[in-house]
Chain A
């Protein structure tokens, strides 16, 4: 996709200062391209380090291929960059555990996250992967809010939490898938024991 055709994240142009700022180009794993301001990128520790390490000039940004983000699709990345543009310049919260964390979801974020749970899931993965602290905070807050007023049984259904028995069964299945011969040997051993054999060999 050419630079001209790349979908651009909604940005309030009037809010952009007159001085010339660099806009980096990123490409999602489904080949959607985004132009994101330098300031917005600072919300992501991962991307910020990446662009710093690349040391691109304004010409490089235009002439070189867009930076590929291979783990995230275009729909999710669009939300991520919209969030970053809206919150650009804001301080990144530091959680040293010294004070209880109180996270409130601002109106913009609430609207941005008015999405199905599948996309919310991807958004959290993206926020974690790109290390966007405050986006991770608000998106996790939204998931935590799903627990409100729910019984344990309801929580099990909402969060798809298996019981001990289901966990055990899944573990056995995984072991079997990994080494089917080991399971066969075990079953053979059990059968011989039932038949009264003292020795397996």
Chain B
């Protein structure tokens, strides 16, 4: 007798989880569960074989916890009034994030349509029922994830169809393939950007940075490349004359030097050096001036002088004691 009783109790214990699943439990208080749905983008136009992805984010506050065994099972085919609905859960992935007073479960559900018809018909991703257990008193309650309704379309249309009458406000317009236009637009934008960049470069006097293309900055770069020969010295002096003329807006001579310095006081600091430069120029081109008293090689002096002019051009105070840098 006693053995029979124990056997009956064991059988009941084994049968309990199955019975657990079918039993309709009371709903959990909504304040313990927060749900966030991410449903498929469109709700119509699905045909047999189409995949629908749905992501449910559940945040369950303590003391409740998710009974993981209650999650839907892959391959489960929902029935409605004994009829197979034709929507099958093909994949489920879960993520879990614990917090101090809650746990967030992210359910990635993938359904596939296995039904069709001659006419469009409604369908739904079923409302999943999950179970929550109260950790303190071990009571189990249920939570219903809302269903998602959509429409399944036939693979082909039978008979004549008046599109005007058949158009559904739920179906988004079909889009033309715009990839080619996107590519063309991309190329056009790239060319335009390049052209604007070139324009910027041109308007910036062929320089990327302010004052980089200014006369003395350019002259300094040129003079650095000129060889230290007799011809090179002539070229360097001529190059510097050109930069001075460009800055002055007219040809600069010693006779109009004061006028130039009044107009461009930034260069006043270099008046003596400019006069020395004209003396050097007279020596180089006219062979008449008394020897310019240069303490260093004329080419090196020219380079240093040009750098000082460039500093003035940039609004800096040249360091007159500085040596020419290469």
- Asked if A pairs with B, the answer is no
* Residues of B bordering A, CB below 8 Å: none
